[in-house]
């Protein structure tokens, strides 16, 4: 295991800042009517993919969910094309026909975004199996929520991955809520890592809001998968700092717990850590934040200035060959 350098910690924090700045800008646009899209907050979950992205290669595969903007950014999907896709524009990763819940960008290894809870895991195990058969050295990372651990497909996928020892990392982003239901109201398991360890793969819980802890866990899991050591299940402990989706309430959430999580939210927390424990200067961080702010604004301008796909392209890219029309 290599020690986390200040350069690596700063790269991870920059990715977190890009994610947070992009979300803040989208929320501002949605609130004012400037933007229209479905949006699932990733606020509070930034450190997980930012640390994972630091240890992945461009050709590695990633699978994510509707709550996946942070994963897309961390995997290296170009911000302009990502925002254009989310805005339904022809310059987007899928020419604006996928939208925010179906982002895919094979050029950067972001293979699938799915709205089907638990649906990503079998796809990821298939991708990892293809890498094992081809011997291409790629690792697949699949992100999913805590609620997805109550779906049958999740268990089928983890079981087969452990049996076949394919190069996959299961990243459970445990934000303590499945839609409007809190963790303790849908399972008696205290620890998902302990429950999934019984399938016979490496499994551990990690502080998903710490750059240092997440980077160490990600590096270990990715190195193990790449070297043929088999899959890992990471239960990344975090907290959803808002309602399920844009416009939905938080009234069913515990207000004290939410306030405590907000006080320890990962962007501010890791910024404090970089200054206090890593000796990074405020000037360095301020400059980075200003650069990111400008980059996000310019990417959004690109997206806003792009055209939607033309009506005559309605059926293009939908099927590999158009099926004959029924009579
Ligand atoms: C198979 C399936 N069942 C139910 C839903 C409805 N649904 C959408 S999001 C969600 C909650 C999932 O919670 P979790 O896996 O913890 O992910 P999070 O939203 O917290 O990221 C549910 C039940 C769905 N999209 N797919
Ligand atoms: Mg959840």
Average pLDDT over residues 101-114: 98
Strand partners, 143: 171
**DSSP bridge pairs for 141:** 62, 169
> Where along the chain do its domains lie?
6-23+35-299
Question: Two tokens at 22?
Answer: 């992009």
* Angle, CA 93 vertex, CA 90 and CA 74 arms, to 5°: 140
Question: Which atom of ligand 1 is closest in space to residue 119's alpha carbon?
Answer: 1
Ion ligand 2 contact residues with beta carbon within 5 A: 145-147, 175, 177-178
322: pLDDT strictly greater than 70: no
pLDDT of residue 267: 98
Structure tokens at 48: 């997980």
Please name the fold of domain 6-23+35-299. Answer: Rossmann fold (3.40.50)
- Residue whose Cα lies nearest atom 10 of ligand 1: it is 179
pLDDT tens, residue by residue, 210-231 = 999 999 999 999 999 999 999 9
Q: Which ligand is nearest to the CA of 71?
A: 1
Among all bound ligands, the one having the nearest atom to the CA of 45 is 1
Q: Whose CA is nearest to atom 9 of ligand 1?
A: 179
At 297, phi and psi to the nearest 5? -60, -40
Using CB distances shorter than 6 Å, the residues near ligand 1 are: 67, 115-117, 144-148, 175, 177-179, 240
Distance from the CA of 9 to the center of ligand 1, in angstroms?
31
**Which atom of ligand 1 has the smallest separation from the CA of 240?**
20
Model confidence at 2, pLDDT cuts 50, 70, 90, reads confident
Q: Give tens-digit pLDDT for 54-102.
A: 999 999 999 999 999 999 999 999 999 999 999 999 999 999 999 999 9
Tell me the CA–centroid distance for residue 144 and ligand 1, in Å.
9
Residue pLDDT, tens place only, 192-209: 999 999 999 999 999 999
Distance 145 CA to ligand 1 centre (A): 8
Outline where DSSP puts E strands in the chain. 61-65, 110-114, 140-145, 168-174, 177-178, 181-182, 202-207, 232-237
CA of 118 to the centre of ligand 1 (A): 8
Centre of ligand 2 to C-alpha 183, Å, is: 8
Around Cβ 318, how many Cβ atoms within 10 Å? Answer: 10
Contacts of 320 (CB under 8 A, 6+ apart): none
DSSP state of 105: B
- Residues of the chain with pLDDT > 70: what percent? 98
Long-range contacts for 303-306 (Cβ within 8 Å, ≥24 apart)? 303/80, 303/83, 303/84, 303/86, 303/87, 303/89, 303/91, 303/92, 304/34, 304/87, 306/84, 306/87, 306/89, 306/90, 306/91, 306/92
The closest residue, in CA terms, to atom 3 on ligand 1 is 117
- The C-alpha atoms of residue 214 and residue 234 are separated, in whole angstroms, by 10
Contact 47, 173 (CB under 8 A): no
């Amino acid at each position: 295991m290599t020690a986390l350098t200040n350069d690596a910690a700063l790269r991870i924090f920059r990715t977190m800042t890009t994610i947070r700045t992009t979300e803040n800008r989208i929320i501002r646009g949605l609130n004012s009517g400037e933007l229209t899209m479905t949006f699932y907050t990733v606020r509070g979950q930034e450190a997980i993919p930012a640390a994972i992205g630091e240890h992945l290669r461009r050709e590695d595969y990633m699978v994510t969910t509707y709550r996946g903007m942070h994963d897309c950014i961390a995997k290296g999907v170009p911000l302009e094309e990502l925002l254009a896709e989310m805005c339904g524009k022809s310059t987007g990763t899928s020419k604006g026909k996928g939208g925010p819940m179906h982002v895919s960008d094979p050029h950067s290894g972001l293979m699938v975004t799915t709205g089907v809870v638990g649906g990503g895991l079998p796809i990821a195990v298939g991708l990892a199996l293809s890498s094992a058969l081809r011997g291409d050295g790629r690792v697949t990372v699949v992100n999913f929520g805590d609620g997805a651990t109550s779906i049958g497909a999740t268990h089928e996928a983890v079981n087969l991955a452990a049996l076949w020892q394919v190069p996959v990392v299961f990243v459970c982003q445990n934000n303590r809520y499945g839609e409007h239901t809190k963790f303790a109201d849908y399972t008696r398991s205290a620890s998902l890592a302990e429950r999934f360890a019984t399938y016979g793969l490496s499994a551990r819980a990690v502080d998903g809001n710490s750059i240092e802890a997440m980077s160490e866990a990600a590096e270990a899991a990715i190195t193990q998968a790449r070297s043929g050591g088999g899959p890992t299940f990471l239960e990344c402990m975090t907290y959803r700092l808002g309602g399920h989706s844009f416009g939905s309430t938080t009234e069913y959430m515990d207000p004290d717990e939410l306030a405590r999580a907000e006080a320890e939210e990962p962007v501010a927390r890791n910024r404090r850590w970089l200054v206090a424990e890593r000796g990074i200067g405020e000037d360095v961080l301020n400059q980075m934040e200003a650069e990111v702010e400008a980059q996000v604004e310019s990417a959004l301008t690109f997206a806003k200035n792009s055209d939607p796909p033309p009506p005559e392209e309605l059926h293009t890219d939908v099927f590999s060959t158009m099926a004959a029309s029924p009579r």
